[in-house]
Each structure stands twice: as structure tokens, then as C-alpha cells.
Amino acid sequence: MDIDIILSQVEEEIKNINSPEGLEQFRLKYLGRKGVVAQLTSTIPTLPNQEKAVFGQKVNALKGKILSLLKEKQGAVVSGKGVSQEPYVDIGMPGIAQEIGHLHPLTQITEEICSIFNRIGFSIVEGPEIETEQNNFTGLNIPLEHPSREAFDTFYLKDYPKMLLRSHTSPVQVRAMKTHKPPLAIVVPGKVYRPDAVDASHSFMFHQVEGFMVDKGIQFSDLKGILELFARTIFNSDIKMRFRPHFFPFTEPSAEVDISCIICKGKGCSVCGRKGWLEILGAGMIHPNVFKHVGIDSGKYTGFAFGMGVERIAMLKYGINDIRLFFENDVRFLRQF
């Protein structure tokens, strides 16, 4: 074989190599144990004596050339210079930063509400989202004929024993009072469900925080003081508060609680419907029938309870006008919190 032809073939081949693997294949092909150079060397003894020396020198020169080409190319492949197609790792390049998420605004507000009560001695307790009819209604003194028990106001799961998706967090009052003796001061955050058509102010799933306190001598004034502290902490310190008489089966007396509108400061605007007041929660003194159901002596103990919608508090606090924004997972909305 003509060594000059081999040499030009070698020079052509090495140009197209651009990976360490390709380079190794090239090395084996020419310098391996059964490679081209070895084969050429093995033919020397068969040559006529006068040609041996010249041919041997040519083979040596070829080997030297291949080695120097290899060395040169190795440097290029490792540093990446002159190698176009093959990716290589540039350890000096800045990394791709991971986006760091944060808590959902509803989680943030829930934690804020609970921590205000927690700081003044309330424990935080959770209950199941699948409840019995007993805990969701009967134990809370909600009579059999009450409209909230209708299938269009509650998601029923199973008939006997009747199981449902809780429609409020109040059943955790029943659970906690059955298993723990007073004094009790508890807040209950969680999801609740109602078969409402979804619109700007309704969702079939939303969040509530329930709260209650039971001990000897608890009075309506305790409820007023604690709720006022709560509202002034979560909104601002100069809001006014009012209690409007209302009806809930599980409290007597009951009230709906309003704060002076945080937008217009009570003057009347579109957010408060020109009333100057915003309803934020329901509350009252725990009904003796609720105590009776859980075996607490209502002659000895009294207590208050309240319940609020987390979405409503968040919407008022941040001026959000559509509840659906909380559940659409649009990062343009979520990033603002």
C-alpha cells in the first residue's frame, strides 16, 4: 500500500473528528494492535532486503505524523475549540435558576388569621372534609327540616350512615367538644363544600376558619373583644365594628359581624354597596343544645363561636373582585402575593 496515500487519507479523516470517541476509534484504526501501522510493519520482513530500510523509515514517519495529529486534535476536542457539532460542558457558564414558588394567597391569609388567634392562646385544630350528617347538622342543633340539609345545599356521599362533604367547619366544634373538656379555645381552618353555581362570589369549594371558646363565665363581651382585636389586626387599627342580630341554629344569641368599609372608611362606595359596612363573619354564644349533644353541662359552662370565609377576608383585604381568581392558578395573579 502506498504510504503517501495513507497519509493523505489520515489527514482527511482526522479533520472530521469532533468527539473523544471518534478520536479513539481513529487511534485504534491506525495505531491499534491490528491497526494500519502494525499491518504495514508486519510486511517489512517479506520485502526484498534493499527496500526494507526505506519502507521502515516511511512507516515510522507515518506513525510519528499520526501521533502528532492525534495530540493536536485531542487538545481541540477537550477544550471545545474548533469542534462545532458536539456539545461540551462549559463549567464557567451560569446555571439555569429554578423559579422559587411561594404559598398560595389563601394559605397565607389562613395562616395569618390562625396566627392572630394562636398568639392569644387558641389552639389550631383540623377536622375531616368528609363528615357525618350528625356532626355537620344534628350535633349543631340544625333541625331535620332546615333548608341547608337539602341536597341542593349539601353534597351527600352515602345514605346510610349519611355521609357528606362538610358544608362548614362548625362540625369540628362537635368533634373537639366530644373529646376535650373545657376550658377550650380553638380555631379550625379548612375546606368546605356547597353545590353552588360558580360565579364571581360563589365557588363549590371554599375555605373557612371556625373559632370557639368554652369555659366558666365566658360572655358576649369576650366575643366582642376578641373579634375586634382580630379585625383590627388583619385589616387596620382604626376600623369600626358592629354586631347585627341574626339567626344561626347553633348559637343564641347570634350575630352577623360587620366592619366599617376599608375602602371608603364608612362613607359608602361600590364595594360596600353604599352601606359603609362590610360583613365579615357570623358569631354568637354557643347554644345549650350543642353543649347537651357533646355532654358539656350548660349550667356550668358557656362559650362563644364564630365562623368566617377565608376568600371573603382575602378579597376585602386585597380588593379582589372575583373569587375564581383564587382557583385558576394563573401565575400573573398569584405572583402578586
The answer to whether residue 26 forms part of the interface with ligand DAH (CB under 6 A) is no
Please calculate the CA angle 172-162-110 and round it to the nearest 5 degrees: 30
For ligand DAH, the closer of residues 62 and 283 by Cβ is 283
Least distance from ligand DAH to the Cβ atom of residue 301, Å: 16
Which residue of 17, 59, 307, 313 would you call a contact of ligand DAH, by CB under 6 A? 307
Q: Which three cell numbers stand for residue 249?
A: 341554629
The answer to whether residue 172 forms part of the interface with ligand DAH (CB under 6 A) is no
The answer to whether residue 303 forms part of the interface with ligand DAH (CB under 6 A) is no
Q: Describe the strand order of the beta sheet including 277-286 as a list of residue ranges.
A: 123-124, 184-193, 205-215, 302-309, 277-286, 251-260, 241-248
Least distance from ligand DAH to the Cβ atom of residue 244, Å: 12
Write phi, then psi, for 89 (nearest 5 degrees): -90, 120
Least distance from ligand DAH to the Cβ atom of residue 247, Å: 10
Q: What is the DSSP letter of 197?
A: P
d(CA 336, CA 333): 6
Show the binding pattern over residues 270-289: x = contacts ligand DAH (CB under 6 A), - = does not: ------------xxx-----
> Which residue, 183, 181, 178, 169, is CA-closest to 125?
169
For ligand DAH, the closer of residues 272 and 280 by Cβ is 280
The answer to whether residue 257 forms part of the interface with ligand DAH (CB under 6 A) is no
The answer to whether residue 306 forms part of the interface with ligand DAH (CB under 6 A) is yes
Least distance from ligand DAH to the Cβ atom of residue 99, Å: 37
Is the distance from CB of 66 to CB of 30 less than 8 angstroms?
yes
CA distances from 313 to 195, 241, 271 (A): 21, 15, 13
Provide the angle, in degrees to the nearest 10, between the axes of the packed helices 3-15 and 36-43: 170
The answer to whether residue 248 forms part of the interface with ligand DAH (CB under 6 A) is yes
For ligand DAH, the closer of residues 66 and 231 by Cβ is 231
For ligand DAH, the closer of residues 70 and 177 by Cβ is 177
d(CA 141, CA 149): 12
d(CA 254, CA 282): 8
Q: What is the DSSP string of 256-312?
A: EEEEE-TTTTTS--TTTTTSSEEEEEEEEEEPHHHHHHHT--TTT-EEEEEEEEHHH
For ligand DAH, the closer of residues 88 and 156 by Cβ is 156
Strand partners, 277: 260
> Which residue, 337, 303, 305, 304, is CA-closest to 320?
337
For ligand DAH, the closer of residues 244 and 274 by Cβ is 244
Residue, CB closest to ligand DAH: 307
For ligand DAH, the closer of residues 193 and 277 by Cβ is 193
The answer to whether residue 171 forms part of the interface with ligand DAH (CB under 6 A) is no
CA distances from 55 to 4, 8, 128, 226, 297 (A): 12, 17, 91, 105, 115
The answer to whether residue 170 forms part of the interface with ligand DAH (CB under 6 A) is yes
For ligand DAH, the closer of residues 126 and 330 by Cβ is 126
The answer to whether residue 139 forms part of the interface with ligand DAH (CB under 6 A) is no
Q: How many positions of this chain bind ligand DAH (CB under 6 A)?
A: 11
For ligand DAH, the closer of residues 141 and 260 by Cβ is 141
Show the binding pattern over residues 176-215: x = contacts ligand DAH (CB under 6 A), - = does not: ----------------------------------x-----
Binding site for ligand DAH (CB under 6 A): 168, 170, 210, 248, 251, 282-284, 305-307
